């Protein structure tokens, strides 16, 4: 169906409603109900045992660490963790599910009623509800390509059977594809900070199904939803939602009706295809898992899990904005990864002026990295190097002009700051008489600016400092220079 026929005006008459179901693999050493290694990329069918293969008589035992990680994820997402939750069997047949059922949770999930705050239009904050977070096991993988006989055969890799998952279901609170993108970005960031998943979409450790419907603006009831599967990046989720919203509007506008169905995203074609309708939907015949007792967590244990959480991104940004005098955007840059933020803060703590470390990292070093298309980890200048540079600036041992020149050399040669500084040892003029002479020259050459200064434009002092830094090739001692400029202009 071509999605070009409807005008933007028609589109604005409808309101999209979106809810996301996200599966994340938990970073445990072993699987959720057996002691097989939980590791991506192993030789097919090597991390398997009677339990995760579902052989008769084998019994599951719940992995304590998987519970801990799922509960930590739930707490980080502001959910209430149940003291008593129930594992349930979700019954279906598929070749990659040898047991014929998946152990999941149904009517008493591990956690409920959470939320994520996302930035919305106009600087506002929008709270997206989280209906539930439950534990379940992953299925195996069918391999349909990559073999010489893939045209006629499929292969099974059951290593993934029994990998611990947390499924996180949002309320239908999301209203635009951009909000969906923001929700996923925040969710991933929180889970990475909590350290419970690597959230690697390429390796399938984070997967997202998007539910979407439309309704005429002002209508209270939701329309029938379509579930879009098979989307493997956040950008594609946004694109799939954009496509699907327009498709649904077009169906309705041309007199049709949206049927509840599951559709698959095709990234190459940038469109969705119907996979199965509601009539073909599974009846999973959920019932309590007879081989596992209820999962009981005492309030004390839940508190212990909460204490294991680090400072989460939102709170950390708020603190760092105040502590280092950052813009929100700079705070996002510094907290993009927990490891990076930790390294920055550990280094900044040792500096005379931590704010200056933040500033150098973001502006001088960040700017050079960006210009070269490098990631922070690829920087030739270490955090210790930035601290050293900041301290030198702070003590007026180098001028900012000299710092720029030193950093240029660092990036040119791929060398750290300490090395370059030792070798180049920038000259500094500390002779007051010599600096005074340069200041006098600058003042004599720029009468207009002197007039402006004396008329009250005190920021003009910076102009003269700049002039002398230029004539002294950045070698004038900054403290002396500042002092002399003010003295001469005032005098």
Contacting positions for Zn ion (CB under 5 A): 34, 36, 49, 51-52
> Among 72, 168, 169, 348, which residue sits at the site for ligand ADP (rule: CB under 6 A)?
169
Exposure string of 87-117, with b = 16+ CB inside 10 Å and e = fewer, is bbbbbeeeebbbbebbbbbbebbbbbebbbe
Closer to Zn ion by Cβ: residue 59 or 374: 59
* CA separation for the pair 29, 39 (Å, rounded): 8
Rounded to whole angstroms, the Cα distance separating 122 from 478 reads 42
Sites for ligand ADP among residues 16-75 (CB under 6 A): 17-21
Q: Which of 15, 96, 117, 171 binds ligand ADP (CB under 6 A)?
A: 171
User: CB-wise, 63 or 213, nearer to ligand ADP?
Assistant: 213
170 binds ligand ADP per the rule CB under 6 A? yes
Question: Six-digit token pair at 244?
Answer: 């699907």
Choose among Zn ion, ligand ADP, none what residue 34 binds, the Cβ cut-off being 5 to 8 Å by kind: Zn ion
Q: Which stretch binds ligand ADP (CB under 6 A): 49-57, 163-171, 268-276, 447-455?
A: 163-171
Query: Is the distance from CB of 48 to CB of 36 less than 8 angstroms?
Result: yes
Which of 120, 123, 330 is CA-nearest to residue 322?
A: 330
Choose which of 211, 335, 402, 472 interacts with ligand ADP (CB under 6 A): 211
- 94 counts as binding ligand ADP under rule CB under 6 A: no
One symbol per residue from 285 to 304: x for binding ligand ADP (CB under 6 A), - otherwise; what is it?
A: --------------------
CB of 18 to ligand ADP, least distance (A): 6
Integer Cα distance of 361 and 371 in angstroms: 14
The reply on whether position 272 binds ligand ADP by CB under 6 A is no
391 binds, among Zn ion, ligand ADP, none (CB under 5 to 8 A by kind): none
Phi, psi of 5 (to 5 degrees): -70, -30
How far apart (Å, rounded) are the C-alpha atoms in residues 266 and 244?
12
Considering beta carbons, is residue 169 or 481 the nearer one to ligand ADP? Answer: 169
Nearest alpha-carbon partner for 357 in 396, 317, 384, 395: 384
- Of residues 222, 276, 395, 445, which one binds ligand ADP by CB under 6 A? 222
31 vs 338, beta carbon nearer Zn ion:
31
172 binds ligand ADP (CB under 6 A): yes
Q: Considering the rule CB under 6 A, would residue 102 count as an interface residue with ligand ADP?
A: no
**Which option in Zn ion, ligand ADP, none does residue 169 bind, with CB closer than 5 to 8 A by kind?**
ligand ADP
| Contact window for ligand ADP (CB under 6 A) among 15-23, 109-117, 314-322, 362-370 | 15-23
In terms of CB distance, is 36 or 169 closer to Zn ion?
A: 36
End-to-end CA distance of the chain, in Å?
79
Binding residues for ligand ADP (CB under 6 A): 17-21, 169-172, 211-213, 222, 225
């Amino acid at each position: 169906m071509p999605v070009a026929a409807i005008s933007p005006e028609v589109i604005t008459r409808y309101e999209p409603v979106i809810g996301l179901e996200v599966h994340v693999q938990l970073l445990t050493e072993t699987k959720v109900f057996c002691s097989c290694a939980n590791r991506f990329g192993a030789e097919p069918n090597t991390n398997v045992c009677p339990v995760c293969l579902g052989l008769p008589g084998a019994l599951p035992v719940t992995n304590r660490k998987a519970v801990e990680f799922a509960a930590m994820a739930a707490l980080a997402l502001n959910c209430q963790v149940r003291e008593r939750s129930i594992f349930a069997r979700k019954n279906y047949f598929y070749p990659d599910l040898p047991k014929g059922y998946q152990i999941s949770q149904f009517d008493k999930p591990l956690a409920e009623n959470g939320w994520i705050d996302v930035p919305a239009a106009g600087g506002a904050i929008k709270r997206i509800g989280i209906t539930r977070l439950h534990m379940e096991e992953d299925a195996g993988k069918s391999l349909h390509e990559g073999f010489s006989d893939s045209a006629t055969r499929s292969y099974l890799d059951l290593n993934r059977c029994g990998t611990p998952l947390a499924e996180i279901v949002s309320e239908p609170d999301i209203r635009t594809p951009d909000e969906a993108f923001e929700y996923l970005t925040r969710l991933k960031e929180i889970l990475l900070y909590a350290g419970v998943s690597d959230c690697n979409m390429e390796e399938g450790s984070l997967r997202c199904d998007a539910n979407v419907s439309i309704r005429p603006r002002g209508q209270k009831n939701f329309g029938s939803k379509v579930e879009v599967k098979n989307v493997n990046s956040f950008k594609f989720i946004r694109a799939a939602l954009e496509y699907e919203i327009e498709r649904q509007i077009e169906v309705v506008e041309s007199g049709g009706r949206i049927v509840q169905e599951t559709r698959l995203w095709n990234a190459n074609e940038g469109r969705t295809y119907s996979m199965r309708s509601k009539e073909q939907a599974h009846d999973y015949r959920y019932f309590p898992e007879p081989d596992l007792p209820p999962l009981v967590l005492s309030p004390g244990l839940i508190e212990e899990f909460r204490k294991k959480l680090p400072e989460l991104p939102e709170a950390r940004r708020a603190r760092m904005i105040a502590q280092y005098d950052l813009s929100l955007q700079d705070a996002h840059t510094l907290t993009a990864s927990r490891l990076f933020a930790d390294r920055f803060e550990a280094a900044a703590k040792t500096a005379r002026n931590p704010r200056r470390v933040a500033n150098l990292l973001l502006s001088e070093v960040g700017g050079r990295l960006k210009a070269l298309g490098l990631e922070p980890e690829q920087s030739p200048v270490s955090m210790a190097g930035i601290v050293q540079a900041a301290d030198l600036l702070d003590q007026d041992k180098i001028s900012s002009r000299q710092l720029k020149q030193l950093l240029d050399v660092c990036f040119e040669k791929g060398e750290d700051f300490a090395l370059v500084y030792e070798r180049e040892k920038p000259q500094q003029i500390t002779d007051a008489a010599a600096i005074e002479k340069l200041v006098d020259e600058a003042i004599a050459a720029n009468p207009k600016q002197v007039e402006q200064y004396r008329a009250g434009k005190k920021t003009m002092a910076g102009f003269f400092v700049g002039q002398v830094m230029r004539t002294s090739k950045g070698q004038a001692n900054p403290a002396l220079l500042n002092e002399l400029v003010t003295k001469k202009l005032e005098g």
